[in-house]
Structure 1
Amino acid sequence: MRTIALGLTLLSCMGAAACGDSGTTSSQGGGGAGAGGAGAGATSDTGAGDSTSTAQGAGGGGGGQSGPTTPQWPFDRPPLDELSASSKKVYAHWHWFPLSLDDKSGASDYYTNNFMTPNGEGNTHVDYGGFLRERPIARLPRGTADYQVLDGERDAALAHAIGIDGFFVNVWDSDSLLQRWTAIFDGAANVPGFSVAPDFDLSIMGDLSDTALEDEMISFLDLVSDKPALLKQDGRVVVGLFHAGNRSVAFYEGFLDRAQQELGIDVYLVPVFLGVGSDAELDTYAGVADRFAGWGTAIPTAPTSAQDSFARAEQRGRPWMHPLLVQDFRPYTHGYWEAEQSLTVRSGWESVVASDVDWVQIVTWNDHAEHHALRPSTGKQWAYYDLVAYYITWFKEGAPPPIVRDALYYFHRVHPLDAVPTSQVELASCNANCDYALDEIEVVTFATEASTLEITQGGSTSTFDVPAGVHSTRVAALPGRPAFRMTRGGEDVAATESAFDIRDDIAVQDLLYRGGGSLRRESSAAEGCKAVCEAGDAAKCLGCETEPVWLVANPE
């Protein structure tokens, strides 16, 4: 048996097919029973799948004063200055992958020619089918020397648009990457309300001596000390420490002393532990930590997980920054963690909004090698980003925002788990939550009123009743390209087709969950962004935040 969080209601499951079949509903904020939310369990007319539901914020009430209309989402996001003023903060971990590595067209840039093909970088990645299964949404060349700063600004603006307050930038001992990292600080300075903190990677720098590591950290801190976007807490410079347990308390005491004595900088130290840290680690580092943080694991979490971690930190007199992930698939190390479509991200956030946690860290914004990047991409498109936008508003406003537009989001893989690739030797295996690694499609509906959901695969349609609010429906995945439609009173209120085919015959293993949504698809049909990008209009291409994205990763 397992327990998962869904709509702040504890569900007990004896297998994925039984997970939430009862249509358990949690009515919060706006609509409640009057919006069709309470007790409106989903049922399948065909018996082909299972459903889980939460009715949240449908109709009136809910998350505070509305801001400008945001038609790309099923809710209206409050004004950004209101979200930024919240005492609850959302940060995202910025890793190695910029929007562009070489300022070339996405059709022929380094990502396309080297990371997205098994034969890239001189066949370095051929055994595991290529380095990446997705890439950042491509852009056309900027043609300016400061393109890295402009890309940093774009990253910061994309993150800030959903209420993210800043980046923790992963830093290690590489002179060749200094410009890339400082470009994030410089670009972020052009995004009001957005800040950046250095986050030293003590795993990558694990082989350095204490002296050499301390020198690297002091040198980088000095380099960014006058950056306007530098994140500060209570007047102190925030510094993250990934895999903090790799060094002693004495080492950190020496670093803090040097920062103050040599640079005149008082540091607000945030050790980040693997998972959520052991009790022994929290005890050991409580004396030097200003706030504890964890890295998390990309599997569904229990409703109390955030509060449990908060309480462990509070017992030691420290606040807690909670980790939140969407999925984790690493071809190059041959492993994945079963995220169950969107359940990992939804259960993690629902745990947070039910807790006393005041800071969270999204793991990550852009680590495409481990495929937990939230940044819009050719694989996840905008789907996870849009889901997280909803939960950030809920977290900061204290209530789920009202659902004012009907929308649906789909999540699925592009081949069955047991499909055998023809061009790959080293396959990934499951590391956690493996009993629930199933060949399924999930559709998350945001409905203003009770509706009917249709999922069509291979000419066969499965039909489900869905309540008002946020609702998850899962069905077995079949070969072909699935299509989705939500109707009410015989009229379509939301519809889209997946941008991705599901195939039995594959060249490489690809366990990334793809995603997409109806609202982005609708605007894409009107704007024709793929054609705009292919025609070479750089400015319009950059502004196309629609689906299917240009160069969508639909494997052949």
Structure 2
Amino acid sequence: MLSHRRAAFAAFVAIACAATTGVATASATVSAPVNVSVSATDDVFISQAAPATVYGDAEWMSVCVKTCNGKTDGERRALTAFKVSGIPAGATNVTMTLQVRSTRTTGTTVSAHKVTGAWSETGTSWNNRPAFGPALATRTGFTSGQVAALDVSKAFAGNGTYSFGLTASQGVVAVLYSSRTSGKGPTLKISYTPATGTPSPTSSPTSSPTATATATATPTSGPTAAPTTPPASPDGVCLPFDKPSASALRSYDKKVFAFYFPPYPLSIDNKDPAKDQYASWLNPLGSNGMYAAQGGHSRDRPLTRPVRGGDWRTADFEVEVRQAIAAGLDGFIYEHHTSASDQRFNQFPKMLAAARNVDPGFRIMLSPDFPTAKGATHDKVISDILLAKGHPSLYHLPDGTIPLAPFYPERQPPAWWDELRAKLAGKGMKTVLVPIFLDWQGSGKTEWNDHVAGYSSWGVRWQSSTEGYKRAGLEAAERGRFYMAPASLEDVRPRDKRYWEPSNSGTLRQSFVKADEGGAAMISLMTWNDYAESWVAPSVERGYAPMDLIAYYTTWFKTGKWPVVKRDALYYFHRSHHTDAPFDATKQTIGPIAVPYGDAAKNEVELVAFLKEPGVISIKQGSDVRTKEVTSAGMVSFKAPLKPGTTPVFELKRGGKLVQTVKSHTPIKESLVYQDLINHAGGGLTCRRPL
């Protein structure tokens, strides 16, 4: 299907150029594992070669053996500390993993130790270093920019402060990111199973690496009172507004689905995230260098989780179902076919089971793949579809018919689909066709009208083009059919040297607005998880920021009323460099990745602020400070030019006092080796998430 989609989009290019809240769900399913991630409160390295020097302002943490850099006494050690809270009493199956990112690829052997003495990043040197306990975990080998995990579960003793020391026993200097400068510093990931009947913690570490790294309580200017970290509400709600329950949202006629692409599940191989397939795809030298010319297969991955036992595929699907429910989605549109060679396509029954296990009201709409050759038979398509026959999680329209929503169905004529549906009816499945055309914005395709129940399309990925969704919805109504509008955050394809300008979160937000103006009956998020093109699922580089916006717009789309903001929350969207920043052409040998058509490239940083009452918001990038006075409660988008050489900081003030501040997880580079043109994101409330 992936090859079909690429070919299909290439053809389109040629044409164009001429319930409950997420927390309540997690609480109710007490047997499900909970994952939280805590960022470091302090980190520093110490050097035997400079025993009195305090490296509190150093950009990196270094770990090296005693003979480091040819010195007799040149050992370097690193220290990092974390404050853990919100883990409920009686939690079982607790694992605790120290995660660090390396700035270089080395074969160094590093061990993690429990630190038993006091220290601080501003006052500790080799001379006054704390005592290190026995090694808790050891690993050999670090990959530049990738997460390396060390299992420190033996040190877990409940909530409290944890200090760990890192030492090296062989190899060259291991240079690790420092949280003070990179936003990619050490994290402590904790996984546990709540005891039966244990309520959700009222305050817990955020489960999103992005959100964890960005939240800070330090005022940046002026004699203001120090705020607290962005808080969770007393009942653990993750959103700045009170989202209606899942059952309440499902009672509305309008529906919101997300298109699920099976090649990119939560985990592909159930391996350590530092060594799994996603890690290989992110590494330019991974996959035997197959994607070296473009800087790696992709630029992001799903949020990570520990290696699972048992039926890990179903457990992973259950996590993704919970994530979707937490945003108010009605279900997934699952692109389905069985494969003799790729097991990722053979998991459809497990997805159906996961939906049933988590919430019978969460439904799966069928998007069957199909042969495109002229005169192709229907046999395999029918056997694939029959896997869902009678399943309680299969989505039906109100009249009881089962919608089939295939991608790019025009590769077969309408009569082919009529014959398929007739054969399915003979086997007890009454279906209707809701084609997801490669491109349809309200004109043409009239020859399909007598063969379809509704219209949809794969959509476009730049903000100005979303006006076409309004036209398409109005035209579908004129034809007596309903419309399922697409909505996307962005589309970035290093392999094809192309991306489209999404105006930060603008394309996503305007997709909902124009779909509503056109009277769309449904919205399909394109896609949930295609990490090679376009995705909105919770991820390492974006956390839950896109999904929280989707939750807000989904609630509005369904209810017809903008949700009332009850809690202040700041989110951000921006790239890691200017779109025309110089890259290393000796390594990114495919040439520049560029906008082929559509809206021109922009270089902006966006703050999406949810305010419970008026206030002043600001975007700070070094000495460049932009402010906006917001005179009423609600959501507002505020943008400023992207400033290389800085790390954006976002603030909310009221009456001259700092209420909330969020620091971006992503520094803005002046130059780079490989282009990274995705919008990184973060922010939001501290709360417990499905992952």
TM-score (norm 2): 0.62
- For the 8 Å contact 1:201–1:243, the answer to whether it is kept is no
Cα pair 1:494 1:518 within 8 Å, conserved:
no
The equivalent of 2:325 in structure 1 is 160
Query: Aligned pair 1:198/2:362, yes or no?
Result: no
Tell whether 2:663 aligns with 1:497. yes
Aligned partner of 1:133 in structure 2 is 299
Is the 2:332–2:364 contact (alpha carbons within 8 Å) kept by the matching residues of 1? yes
Cα offset, 1:130, TM superposition = 0.9
The answer (yes or no) to whether the contact 2:322–2:690 under 8 Å persists in 1 is: no
2:351 matched to which residue of 1?
A: 184
Superposition deviation, residue 312 in structure 1: 1.0
SS of structure 1 residue aligned to 2:323 = helix
Aligned to 2:309: 143
Partner of 2:255: 89
Query: Shift of the alpha carbon at 1:131?
Result: 0.9
Tell me if structure 1 keeps the 8 A contact 2:337–2:345: no
- Distance in 1 of aligned mates of 2:461 and 2:467: 16
Judged with a 3 Å threshold, the aligned counterparts in structure 2 of structure 1 residues 434 and 322 are, in CA distance, closer, same or farther, namely closer
Report the equivalent of 1:312. 475
* Count of residues in correspondence between the two structures: 449
Residue 110 (structure 1) aligns with:
277
Letter in 1 for 2:608: V
Residue 470 of structure 1: how far off its partner (Å): 1.7
Task: Determine the C-alpha separation between the residues in 2 that align with 1:300 and 1:290.
Answer: 28
What is the CA–CA distance in structure 2 between the aligned matches of 1:341 and 1:467, rounded to whole Å?
A: 23
Cα displacement (A) at 1:355:
3.9
Given the alignment, which residue of 516, 524, 531 partners 1:361? 524
Contact 1:452/1:465, CA 8 A, preserved across alignment:
yes
Matched, 1:244 2:417: no
Which residue in the other structure is 2:675 paired with?
Answer: 509
Alignment match, 1:403: 565
- Structure 2 residue corresponding to 1:378, chosen from 528, 536, 540: 540
Distance 1:229 1:347 in 2: 30
Find the partner of 1:99 among 266, 287, 305: 266
| Worse-matched range after superposition: 315-324 or 129-138 | 315-324
Q: Could you tell me which amino acid in structure 2 is paired with residue 298 of structure 1? A: R
Higher-Rg member (1/2): 2
Residue 458 of structure 2, aligned match among 295, 302, 318: 295
Find the residue that maps to 1:446 and give its secondary structure: strand
**Is 1:480 equivalent to 2:642 in the alignment?**
no
Partners of 1:304 and 1:280 lie apart in 2 by 17
**CA distance change for structure 1 residues 119 and 302 in 2, over 3 Å: closer, same or farther?**
closer
Work out whether residues 304 and 355 of structure 1, in 8 Å CA contact, stay in contact via their aligned partners in 2: no
Structure-2 separation of matches of 1:68 and 1:269 = 46
Question: What is the CA-CA distance between 1:209 and the residue it aligns to?
Answer: 4.8
Q: Which moved more, 1:160-169 or 1:176-185?
A: 176-185
Partner of 2:615: 451
Within the candidate set 244, 247, 253, 1:78 is matched to 244
Counterpart Cα distance in 2 of 1:224 and 1:124: 37
Change (3 A) 1:181 1:118: farther
Cα distance in 1, alignment partners of residues 604 and 345 from structure 2 = 42
Amino acid at match of 2:474: A
Q: Give the CA RMSD over aligned residues.
A: 2.1
Q: Cα deviation per residue 1:199-240 (whole Å; 9 max; x = unaligned)?
A: 1245xx43x45434x222111011221332111122222211
User: Over residues 299-323 of structure 1, what are the superposed CA-to-partner deviations in whole Å (9 max), with x where a residue is unaligned?
Assistant: 1147854432122112222111111
Q: SS in structure 2 opposite 1:140? A: coil
Give CA-to-partner distance per residue, 1:512-544, whole Å, 9 cap, x none.
001111424xx5xxxxxxxxxxxxxxxxxxx65
- The one-letter code of the counterpart of 1:88 is K
Counterpart for residue 22 of structure 1? none
1:228 aligned residue: 392
In structure 1, the partner of 2:504 is 341
Q: 1:69·1:76 contact (CA, 8 Å) conserved in 2?
A: no
The aligned runs of 1:268-279 (5 Å cut-off) are 268-277=432-441, 279=443
Give distance in 2, aligned partners of 1:512 and 1:398: 31
> Does the 8 A contact of 1:481 with 1:502 survive in 2?
yes
How much does 1:354 deviate? 3.4
> Which letter does structure 2 place at the counterpart of 1:182?
P
Q: What's the offset of the Cα at 1:171?
A: 2.3
- How far apart, CA to CA, are the structure 1 residues paired with 2:598 and 2:240? 31
Amino acid paired to 1:105: D
Q: Which amino acid letter does the alignment assign opposite residue 515 of structure 1?
A: A
Runs of 4+ in 1 over 6 A off after TM superposition: none
| Distance change (3 Å), C-alpha of 1:215 and 1:250 | same
Secondary structure at 2:450 match in 1: coil
Q: Distance in 2 between matches of 1:544 and 1:70?
A: 10
Partner of 2:25: none
The alpha-carbon deviation at position 276 of structure 1 amounts to: 2.4
Partner of 2:574: 412
Aligned partner of residue 432 in structure 1, secondary structure: coil
The AA in structure 2 aligned to 1:485 is E
| Counterpart contact for 1:68–1:79, Cα < 8 Å | no
Q: What is the letter of the counterpart of residue 575 of structure 2?
A: R
SS in 2 for 1:232: coil
Conserved 8 A contact 1:456-1:483: yes
Amino acid in structure 2 at the alignment position of 1:379: E
Secondary structure of the equivalent of 2:531?
Answer: coil
Structure 2 unpaired stretches of 5+: 1-232
Indicate how the Cα distance of structure 1 residues 368 and 143 shifts in structure 2: closer, same or farther if over 3 A, else same: same
CA contact (8 A) 1:275 1:295 kept: yes
* Alpha-carbon offset, residue 78 of structure 1: 1.0
For the residue of structure 1 that corresponds to 2:535, the secondary structure is coil
What secondary structure, in the 3-state scheme, does the structure 2 residue paired with 1:83 have?
helix
The residue type equivalent to 1:448 in the other structure is K
In the alignment, the residues of structure 1 paired with residue 689 and residue 245 of structure 2 have an alpha-carbon distance, to the nearest angstrom, of: 22
Once the two structures are TM-superposed, the CA of residue 108 in structure 1 deviates from its matched residue by 2.1
Aligned-partner Cα distance in 2 for 1:201–1:491: 56
Residue type at the aligned position of 1:125: Y
> Quick one: structure 1 residues 497 and 245, their matched pair in 2 at CA, closer, same or farther if it must change by over 3 Å?
same
Distance 2:631 2:360 in 1: 39
Of the structure 1 ranges 302-311 and 473-482, higher mean CA displacement relative to structure 2 is found in: 302-311
Tell me, in whole angstroms, the C-alpha distance in 1 between the residues paired with 2:350 and 2:335. 13
Aligned equivalents of 1:490, 1:399: Cα separation in 2: 32
Q: 1:461 aligns with which of 625, 628, 643?
A: 625
Point out the more displaced range, 467-476 or 497-506: 467-476
Partner of 2:626: helix, strand, or coil? strand
1:122 aligned to 288, 302, 317, which one? Answer: 288
State the shift of 1:350 in Å.
Answer: 1.8
Q: 1:390 aligned to 552, 559, 562, which one?
A: 552
Q: Distance in 1 between matches of 2:599 and 2:627?
A: 28
Separation in 2, partners of 1:161, 1:195: 14
Instruction: From the two aligned structures, give the one with the greater helix fraction.
Output: 1
Structure 1 residue 71: Cα displacement: 3.2
Which residue identity lines up with residue 464 of structure 1 in the other structure? K
Higher relative contact order (CA 8 A, sep 6+): 1
Distance across 2 between alignment mates of 1:211 and 1:100: 34
